[in-house]
Structure 1
Amino acid sequence: MHTNSQSRFWRLLLTYAVLIGITVVIIYPLAWTVGASFNPGNSLVSTSLIPKHPTFAHYVALTKTSATFYYFRWFANSIKISVATMILSVIFVSMTAYAFSRFKFVGRKNGLTVFLLLQMIPQFSALIAIFVLAQMMGMVNSHLLLILIYTGGQIPMSTYLMKGYFDSIPRDLDESARIDGAGNTRIFLKILMPLARPMLAVVAMNGFTGPLGDFAISSVILRNPKAYTLPIGLYNLITDKMGASYTTFAAGAILISVPVAIVFLMLQRNFVTGLTAGGTKG
């Protein structure tokens, strides 16, 4: 009995040690970024975790525009692309996953295999093809093209995951609904979609955060400074040979985390929703 108590104690201690270590690894860089955004000057050399003379000058600098700097326009561009990608990803992924989960058709198994294999191809391998496509279609500097590319990139893996989630929902619910006269569309919208809210929240979150962190694809398509997204604009801010500002970059990076936090809080409840929540017939 004493041995079991000791073993449990050491397991709990190891668990908490790992959790604390992971928390420090996540929070420490974020704390430095926040500190840098309030430090005076433009260099990271003289910055400290807790600024001795904090200033909001870098946040004020974000409101100013020039021929190559449009922070809040970039902010709006990124949010517009991310929201559109999130909505389209949820729509297309859910419909595709429903088809693969509930219907049998020629190429179904091979289609899932192709979806899985597509995830093994790195994004940068298609950059030349994407740029040529953008030029041929006259869609250089087009946010619409970016939205379509991001949405298409979300579909394979998200479909694979959501299809597995749909498979875990008992088919008896479908059969009961069909006895009551429900068609495939009604079963999809009224039964499967409410039960799949946890996975829908994951797809929505991935669809929103993916474009916010992308630099490679957006930098190939977007060439006009006014059409930039935040990753491109902020990258150019710290590579400017005439006036690189890492502290202003930190301020801009902190602000873009606000909508991410808001979306996460909105979807948080759905992450822990039970599989059969709302499954009773009303």
Structure 2
Amino acid sequence: MNRTRRNPAGKMKLLLIYIELIVVALIVIYPLIWIFGSSLGSTKGLANASAIPAHATLDNYKKLFQNTDFPLWYMNTLKVAAANMFFGVLLSTLGAYAFSRFKFKGKKASLLTILILQMFPAFLTAIAVYMLFLNFGLLDSLTGLVIVGVAAQLPYNIWLLKGYLDNISTSFDEAALIDGASRTQIFFRIIVPLAVPMLTFVAVLQFAAPWMDFILPRLLISSEEKKTVAIGLFSMISDPTRNDFTLFAAGSVLVAVPIAILYIVLQRFLINGLTAGGDKG
């Protein structure tokens, strides 16, 4: 009898959960469908853009590659993203390993500084970065974008990775040291393989950041040949004499492709990294 009474309430709760999930999914998915549909539109303006265009066409994608510098912007951003990912993961892992495994003077103060630094967005230091790059000749340089991108993410990544490495037992290190392994060998042969889930998560974050960034590239890049995707696409809708919204939508769809592929391919590692880090530290 008790089970009969409980079932309606349980079913209603389950139904409400499913309704909530469907509503959230629609809120997230509909803008993506609308952008993709707009990229297939036959007109240029925002007013006529639609999730289901009346006359769908791939002309916007053709124009993007034939009539604009989109391939150049894409390659510039890809270079910055790849370098950002490589150096960001390398430096973050080395820093986190040092904080996790070694005792040194000023360790707590350094960790507190890193914690405070990660609370401030990178664009707050935009003017200081501009003047610094001006003095060092790094303005209008893809190298400069890599440096500022790695530096901006470093505090957050070090803190995140340190929490993960703290959960890896130091007995691995001690056993390897007894067997005659060096600290470098321990790092690359033991710590790095064990930290693959979190390293993958950090790598995806580092790769995605340049695709999303607009403020710093807009400030630091001035020449046409050094433009990134964000700046190039913005120019399509910011010029009063130009209103190529459907072209902009086509570019936005293509920008999302590499990040979507990364998330799909590395999904297992990303979930492990999200759930395993930050338990200690």
If the length of structure 2 is used for normalisation, what is the TM-score? 0.91
2:161–2:198: 8 Å Cα contact kept in structure 1? yes
1:71 maps to 2:73: no
- Partner-residue secondary structure (3-state), 2:125: helix
CA deviations 1:34-92 (Å, max 9, x no partner) are: 00000111112122211121011111111134xxx411100100111001100111101
Q: Structure 1 regions of 5+ residues with no counterpart?
A: 276-282
User: 1:270: which partner in 2?
Assistant: 269
Alignment of 1:226-265 (within 5 A): 226-265=225-264
2:46–2:246: 8 Å Cα contact kept in structure 1? yes
1:202–1:271: 8 Å Cα contact kept in structure 2? yes
1:230–1:172 Cα change, 3 Å: same
Please identify, of 43-52 and 142-151, the stretch whose mean Cα deviation from structure 2 is larger.
Answer: 43-52
CA deviations 1:1-57 (Å, max 9, x no partner) are: 425544543443333233222211111100000000001111121222111210111
**What is the total number of aligned residue pairs between the two structures?**
272
1:197–1:273: 8 Å Cα contact kept in structure 2? no
2:114–2:159: 8 Å Cα contact kept in structure 1? yes
User: 1:223: which partner in 2?
Assistant: 222
1:59 maps to 2:61: yes
Mapped partners of 2:22, 2:71: distance in 1: 36
RMSD, aligned CA:
1.8
The one of 20, 28, 31 equivalent to 1:29 is 31
If the length of structure 1 is used for normalisation, what is the TM-score? 0.91
The one of 42, 45, 48 equivalent to 2:44 is 42
2:201–2:273: 8 Å Cα contact kept in structure 1? no
1:8–1:177 Cα change, 3 Å: farther
Mapped partners of 2:77, 2:161: distance in 1: 26
2:200–2:273: 8 Å Cα contact kept in structure 1? no
Alignment of 1:86-97 (within 5 A): 86-97=85-96
Mapped partners of 1:4, 1:201: distance in 2: 44
1:193 maps to 2:192: yes
> Which structure 1 residue ranges, 4+ long, deviate > 6 Å from structure 2?
none
Mapped partners of 1:253, 1:79: distance in 2: 15
CA deviations 1:158-201 (Å, max 9, x no partner) are: 11011000011122222222222222222211221111111101
Mapped partners of 1:218, 1:124: distance in 2: 11
Identical aligned pairs, as a percentage?
Answer: 38
Mapped partners of 2:60, 2:9: distance in 1: 52
User: 2:151: which partner in 1?
Assistant: 152
CA deviations 1:105-138 (Å, max 9, x no partner) are: 1111111111111122232221111111222122
- Partner-residue secondary structure (3-state), 1:63: helix
1:89–1:204: 8 Å Cα contact kept in structure 2? yes
Mapped partners of 2:6, 2:156: distance in 1: 43
User: 1:15: which partner in 2?
Assistant: 17
